[in-house]
A and B are shown apart, each in its own frame.
Chain A
């Protein structure tokens, strides 16, 4: 079925006039092959199959049928996501490969592909992806959403909606005296932002996981097409706890970041995960929670061993639901010790895969873990049931209590800053 869908997708690409430009091998194709393919498919590196030495050698391998991309294993293996093994190419790159083969797979004599050098982590943003972020920013600037106060968003071309709650700028005392990693308490100032009123639900996240459910057709919106999306999971990730109106779970922080990028491109509003400081500030909502925990939160004592529908407990003073309990929520920060100094809009950008800060406690937690201050760090064990190496960059197979919600800062960041928010650079487990 996955196969069938990819034929449909490629058929759409063929029909899409926007891609029908003349392919220049050096400019359009060589960089993709050099980054993703030649490490393995180069003379001397592999015993059989596709060899990216020159056109003659490539065609001898049989995986490229000039003029017929849909009959080319080379293209189909990429559309199906088997190749490259490190992760599926984005739609723009797939479209280039498609057009290249459709145009007879030209490869001028004398162009020799370079093998990649070992890349430094946190390297500069790849230009093709940063260009796409710039396009998203242009869409946002052009739209000039001038919402004030709370507002309602329907995701374009769907009936799925969510609400945004305004959070005023302010200062608060971050941390607590309860646990060592909540110390020292320190003053933090945060700028104004909107926060999603409820945790992102499966209704919303499925639109991102399955493009066809969002009524998207490849080739219609190249900005959306260029955003990488999750591989299809082999198991259904709600684990029988419910879909409609229930919070989405078990995604990696990378998955949540890419969802934010996708939602920004779809809606023309800039979204990202909250920083730890923004999250805690929004949770505390100007004071100590006064309502009993059981009135505002789903946790071990009342959850019956599963997550519950969002917005079924009382909101906090800002009007946010389920900040405490139901599902724990991803933040943008690497989990790191606090310092005593006062700070403005602090953010510890991740430099390694673990631990990344998760907040709020969940349906499986005792009450002492369901507070505005408790900090949890992500861990490699959250991917334990993935038996393969390398492990998926999209799913935390063992964290059926982990979700997220997004914020929309009032002040629009630069494209470079957006890129950093949406690309943690540590999505591949390396220990």
Chain B
């Protein structure tokens, strides 16, 4: 299940590619359009919030000949704000978004895909991701796909199928599980895998923070705003859109558990979870604690909480028979025990690395595909949610075959959309 990324310095490569004469296109994938004169790679952005704007800046920084060509969102003011922010960055000259290539609404993603772009950045709420990703690959687009990649198991299965299509088409698919592109964390997992801490015993990770995007009260809903729009504007508070906090945020910790286990699946998990702060019309929990069982008896414990006035920490403690590898926030990762080690080196922006790798893969025609592991890491977090919501032990096979479909098949921008009640352990049934 291990996937190889060719993490290579973009600058060395671009020195050569940038120097190429205008007419030289031999060796470039036929899939890149519009490069005949300018060598341009056209980028489409689907979801122009803070993360999407950040990702767009990184895409344009990754390749001197990348151009932002089209943008989709549900709100013109977000597109305006995003473009205004990008216009203040070094990459301002690479902004080529005509008014005609700014699209609004639930089908705007397809218009971006059809606008003649080469790469699509998917940074909407994750509930939309499986459909957006499938449309990109169908249309032969390379993709940067922000985490998580779905909010339900049918979506995970869809992404796994799309991943294989992308592979067959030699398209690059880079995921936003950013720690896999962080030099210090990459080095740390080398130590974990090379036996520096002996054989692995247990993994404890926490993600204790303040609330991310709290739900406003229903009384603040503007007159005439449909359920669909209201929920999308407050997407973090709805399971179908966000997947709940363990899938949307603590999935970073879960992804590192998967990394430690070489992306092999667990046997099963149990979990507790609930909500302390009133939900105000949303249906997500604000805390989870999941206990994963792996085939060799290895245990992984992942806890998250979004609260105020409580002890906060975001750390990973990977425990082995001869030591521990400890990853805490922005501090240098370290190994304690028999083979002590502390990471040192010059840091490189992991978000930038994601795009450097993506663009270099396209330029070199050496496609990268993170699809499988981004899908299985998302499912691993989702499995914890399923166990917490139902109060049952959930096996990997159950999770993978779950029939529970959370995302409405036909979404009407002006339509009504009842909110499912918040899950009750022992009452809510697994499906």
A→B interface (CB under 8 Å): 1-5, 40-41, 45-50, 60-63, 65, 71-73, 76-77, 80, 85, 232-236, 239-241, 250, 305-306, 364, 381, 384-385, 387-390, 397-400, 430-431
Chain B window 303-335, contacts with chain A (Cβ cutoff 8 Å), 1 for yes, 0 for no: 000011101111100000000000011111010
Whether B76 and A389, one on each chain, are in contact in the complex, defined by CB atoms closer than 8 angstroms, is: no
Identify the stretch in B197-205, B219-227, B253-261 within 8 Å (CB) of chain A at 4 or more residues. Answer: B219-227
A400 to B347, CA, bound (A): 14
Whether B222 and A399, one on each chain, are in contact in the complex, defined by CB atoms closer than 8 angstroms, is: no
Chain B neighbourhood of A240, CB < 8 A: 313, 315, 328-329, 331
Chain B neighbourhood of A388, CB < 8 A: 49-51, 53-54
A11 to B86, CA, bound (A): 39
CB proximity to A under 8 Å, residues B348-389? 349-351
Say yes or no: A80-B214 contact (C-beta < 8 A), given A1-B307, A1-B309: yes
B14 at the interface (CB under 8 A from A): no
Determine how close the nearest CB of chain B comes to the CB of A270; give it in whole angstroms: 32
Determine how close the nearest CB of chain A comes to the CB of B370; give it in whole angstroms: 17
* B interface bracket (residues with beta carbon within 8 Å of A): 35 or more
Q: From B56, B224, B331, B342, name the one whose CB has the most chain A CB atoms within 10 angstroms.
A: B331
B195 at the interface (CB under 8 A from A): no
A372 to B49, CA, bound (A): 43
Whether A239 and B331, one on each chain, are in contact in the complex, defined by CB atoms closer than 8 angstroms, is: yes
A384 to B329, CA, bound (A): 12
Closest to A239 in B: B329
Determine how close the nearest CB of chain B comes to the CB of A133; give it in whole angstroms: 28
Whether B330 and A250, one on each chain, are in contact in the complex, defined by CB atoms closer than 8 angstroms, is: yes
Whether A241 and B331, one on each chain, are in contact in the complex, defined by CB atoms closer than 8 angstroms, is: yes
Say yes or no: A239-B219 contact (C-beta < 8 A), given A1-B309, A40-B77, A431-B89: no
* Number of A-B residue pairs having CB atoms within 8 Å of each other in the complex: 141
A240 to B397, CA, bound (A): 37
B→A interface (CB under 8 Å): 49-51, 53-54, 56-57, 75-77, 80-82, 85-86, 88-90, 104, 178, 208-212, 214-217, 219-225, 229, 277, 280, 307-309, 311-315, 328-332, 334, 342, 347, 349-351
Closest to A250 in B: B330
Choice from B51, B54, B77, B342 contacting A305 with Cβ under 8 Å: B342
The binding surface of chain A is classed by DSSP as loop
Choice from A47, A49, A232, A239 contacting B104 with Cβ under 8 Å: A47
Say yes or no: A46-B308 contact (C-beta < 8 A), given A62-B223, A240-B313, A398-B330: no
A71 to B104, CA, bound (A): 29
A41 to B351, CA, bound (A): 32
Chain B neighbourhood of A381, CB < 8 A: 347, 349
Listed from nearest, the 6 A-B pairs whose CB atoms lie closest are A236-B312, A388-B50, A62-B223, A73-B220, A239-B329, A62-B222
Whether B81 and A398, one on each chain, are in contact in the complex, defined by CB atoms closer than 8 angstroms, is: no
Whether A85 and B349, one on each chain, are in contact in the complex, defined by CB atoms closer than 8 angstroms, is: no
Determine how close the nearest CB of chain B comes to the CB of A308; give it in whole angstroms: 14
Supply 19 A–B pairs (Cβ within 8 Å), ascending by A: A3-B214, A40-B77, A45-B77, A48-B225, A61-B222, A62-B225, A73-B220, A73-B221, A80-B216, A232-B308, A236-B209, A239-B330, A240-B331, A305-B342, A385-B330, A389-B54, A389-B82, A390-B53, A397-B330
Whether A2 and B211, one on each chain, are in contact in the complex, defined by CB atoms closer than 8 angstroms, is: yes
A388 to B178, CA, bound (A): 13
Chain A neighbourhood of B214, CB < 8 A: 1-3, 80
Whether B349 and A384, one on each chain, are in contact in the complex, defined by CB atoms closer than 8 angstroms, is: yes
Say yes or no: A235-B80 contact (C-beta < 8 A), given A73-B220, A400-B330: no
Say yes or no: A45-B80 contact (C-beta < 8 A), given A384-B349, A389-B53, A431-B90: yes
A61 to B220, CA, bound (A): 11
* Given A1-B211, A3-B216, A236-B312, 17 more pairs with CB closer than 8 A: A1-B214, A1-B308, A5-B308, A41-B77, A48-B225, A49-B77, A62-B223, A80-B214, A235-B314, A236-B208, A236-B313, A306-B331, A384-B350, A384-B351, A387-B178, A388-B49, A389-B82
Choice from A3, A234, A235, A387 contacting B351 with Cβ under 8 Å: A387
Closest to B49 in A: A388
Whether B212 and A234, one on each chain, are in contact in the complex, defined by CB atoms closer than 8 angstroms, is: yes
Choice from A76, A239, A399 contacting B328 with Cβ under 8 Å: A239
Determine how close the nearest CB of chain B comes to the CB of A392; give it in whole angstroms: 10
Whether B331 and A305, one on each chain, are in contact in the complex, defined by CB atoms closer than 8 angstroms, is: yes
Whether A40 and B332, one on each chain, are in contact in the complex, defined by CB atoms closer than 8 angstroms, is: no
Whether B331 and A384, one on each chain, are in contact in the complex, defined by CB atoms closer than 8 angstroms, is: no
Determine how close the nearest CB of chain B comes to the CB of A382; give it in whole angstroms: 9
Closest to B329 in A: A239
A137 to B64, CA, bound (A): 51
A71 to B225, CA, bound (A): 16
Whether A46 and B210, one on each chain, are in contact in the complex, defined by CB atoms closer than 8 angstroms, is: no
Determine how close the nearest CB of chain B comes to the CB of A86; give it in whole angstroms: 9
Chain B neighbourhood of A305, CB < 8 A: 331-332, 334, 342
Chain B neighbourhood of A239, CB < 8 A: 328-331
Q: From B208, B211, B308, B350, name the one whose CB has the most chain A CB atoms within 10 angstroms.
A: B308
A76 to B220, CA, bound (A): 8
Chain A neighbourhood of B225, CB < 8 A: 48, 62
A232 to B312, CA, bound (A): 12
Determine how close the nearest CB of chain B comes to the CB of A247; give it in whole angstroms: 14
Whether A390 and B85, one on each chain, are in contact in the complex, defined by CB atoms closer than 8 angstroms, is: yes
Chain B neighbourhood of A232, CB < 8 A: 210, 308
Closest to A63 in B: B222
Determine how close the nearest CB of chain A comes to the CB of B84; give it in whole angstroms: 9
Choice from A45, A71, A397 contacting B219 with Cβ under 8 Å: A71
Determine how close the nearest CB of chain B comes to the CB of A301; give it in whole angstroms: 12
Chain B neighbourhood of A2, CB < 8 A: 210-211, 214, 308
